[in-house]
Structure 1
């Protein structure tokens, strides 16, 4: 299992990149240390793979365009495929850590079009109303699934038949989640096209944040009007396009400060944050530190994926 406290993105789609993910074993496990993420939160992202998680400690808030779900220690859940989400610890709560299984559903469903995929995977995977399925120990069946989920992280890749045992555990959990989600699957909910629009605009920002870009440029990337752009950002991410752009620039500045020896002036300009004085002002508002203070705090920390 890998300790994780940063995020990288795939080029092109700008989905979260999952290191060590391979076609013959489309699965990774990680221990997510939220407090060690720069800024203390996991920024908005999505991935085709599903995410099963268990809260080891702390209290974590999961945000999606449809709302917020709070997960204290001992709870867990599923984040469905391609769901836009971000997480942050509940205000004032420290030492927030979660265990995650992230996997392509072919790992448990077999090849595309298989009977298992058609009957048990696709109906849940493609249900827009099933963004997040939460598991809480107050309910017996959910408590049973939580125990299987927690125990599954004890499996070791050094054990005999590890891959088979892991797939069995994930399949058992999936069957339980499928049963719990049955009432949701009966609801008639149409796909919200705003999800595609916001992702297109986010991708544009991720690719052009170093440049001078306007809200009109961002709106054009989503093939919508400026007015609609503001509405989609507010409804999905609860910020304006300019606020998201500034935050994304600052997140990249954090990574450069911690991971490179580049001068502060260069980093501010490279991230599209202009002069040293403006960069210093907005950076302190964002992190509570000056750029140099932040560098001293983080530059000796390992911010990459590690064993």
Structure 2
């Protein structure tokens, strides 16, 4: 995947299923993404990640962790997450996204799936513990099944998925840590408001009101979770939105389209963020399209 299409609530719009299975598997090269990193997003599906090359720093809500080749990460339902890597050690990882409703039958779902959707926001997967080592093995088996698709492979896939979830429950039970739904939802509300109103004039109080917070508490949320200020996030988001518009319009039109009140200020901030001017970026994309054509 090279782009993550998100709605105003930061929910990923990718359909994580095939025609017959509520399961999706794909590989991602972080630096091939249009932004050069994986932006914060969330989805209703459970997600398992295994790093195939290099390493990356993943963010899940307020926490950051480095995951290296051979290691993995489980991200629970509806958790804000994203990833970055180092140009010197680029990361490629494989994802498995599965609907929670597909994990077990309706009769067992309430007892063996639902309680754990409110448990750990994420879990590291390494070969240092028996349960996580087994999870990694089942993930590899599932990836192979989805690639080969031999006759009746769906039966084998569901068997491995059930066994994988059994091991996950063992891991959950070794260290349940209830997530903080109120903080998570308030952050989503503020980001949703920004993503809806980014082209308008925005002041700090607007963002704070969206999360039902004071201005100082709003700043603390952004500093703690995103390591930036609310208004700096607005600027960065406007620049990210402008990348698509630059393929269709001139620089001045794009600047005003995404909420900057002057072309020069847009160019200044774009160069700070992207390391080149908007015009240079626009030309590089056009040149790339011509070569691919």
TM-score using structure 1 length: 0.86
Residue 134 of structure 2 contacts residue 167 of structure 2 at CA under 8 Å; is this kept in 1? no
Q: Deviations over 1:1-39 (max 9, x none)?
A: xxx01111135x441112364796322211111011133
**Which of these residues, 239, 261, 283, is aligned with residue 270 of structure 2?**
283
1:123 aligns with 2:123: no
SS at 1:277's partner residue? Answer: helix
Hey, what's the Cα distance between the residues in 2 that align with 1:83 and 1:31?
20
Query: Could you tell me how far 1:157 is from its partner in structure 2?
Result: 6.8
**Which of these residues, 147, 167, 170, is aligned with residue 137 of structure 2?**
147
SS at 2:58's partner residue? Answer: strand
Residue 60 of structure 1 contacts residue 71 of structure 1 at CA under 8 Å; is this kept in 2? yes
Residue 38 of structure 1 contacts residue 251 of structure 1 at CA under 8 Å; is this kept in 2? no
1:29 aligns with 2:25: yes
Q: Deviations over 1:169-210 (max 9, x none)?
A: 22222211111121222x5x4634111111001000111111
**Which of these residues, 97, 104, 109, is aligned with residue 109 of structure 1?**
104
Hey, what's the Cα distance between the residues in 1 that align with 2:11 and 2:234?
17
Query: Could you tell me how far 1:135 is from its partner in structure 2?
Result: 0.8
Residue 157 of structure 1 contacts residue 163 of structure 1 at CA under 8 Å; is this kept in 2? no
Hey, what's the Cα distance between the residues in 1 that align with 2:218 and 2:253?
31
**Which of these residues, 208, 217, 225, is aligned with residue 206 of structure 2?**
217
Query: Could you tell me how far 1:255 is from its partner in structure 2?
Result: 2.6
Q: Which moved more, 1:156-165 or 1:131-140?
A: 156-165
1:100 aligns with 2:87: no
Residue 41 of structure 2 contacts residue 80 of structure 2 at CA under 8 Å; is this kept in 1? yes
TM-score using structure 2 length: 0.90
CA distance 1:268–1:287, shift in 2 (3 Å): same
Query: Could you tell me how far 1:222 is from its partner in structure 2?
Result: 1.5
SS at 1:181's partner residue? Answer: helix
Residue 133 of structure 1 contacts residue 177 of structure 1 at CA under 8 Å; is this kept in 2? no
Q: Deviations over 1:270-291 (max 9, x none)?
A: 1112322111111111011111
Query: Could you tell me how far 1:119 is from its partner in structure 2?
Result: 2.2
Query: Could you tell me how far 1:138 is from its partner in structure 2?
Result: 3.5
Hey, what's the Cα distance between the residues in 2 that align with 1:252 and 1:82?
23
1:174 aligns with 2:181: no
Query: Could you tell me how far 1:295 is from its partner in structure 2?
Result: 2.2
Q: What number of residue pairs does the alignment pair up? A: 288
* Residue in structure 2 matched with residue 292 of structure 1 by the alignment: 279
CA distance 1:178–1:297, shift in 2 (3 Å): farther
Provide structure 1 residue ranges, at least 5 long, that are not aligned to the other structure: 303-307
C-alpha RMSD of the superposition: 2.2
CA distance 1:14–1:140, shift in 2 (3 Å): closer
- For residues 1-307 of structure 1, the aligned pairs below 5 Å read 4-10=1-7, 13-19=9-15, 21=17, 25-89=21-85, 91-110=86-105, 114-127=106-119, 130-155=120-145, 156=147, 158-185=149-176, 189=178, 191-257=180-246, 260-299=247-286
* Residue in structure 2 matched with residue 305 of structure 1 by the alignment: none
- Write 1 or 2 for the structure with the bigger share of helix: 2
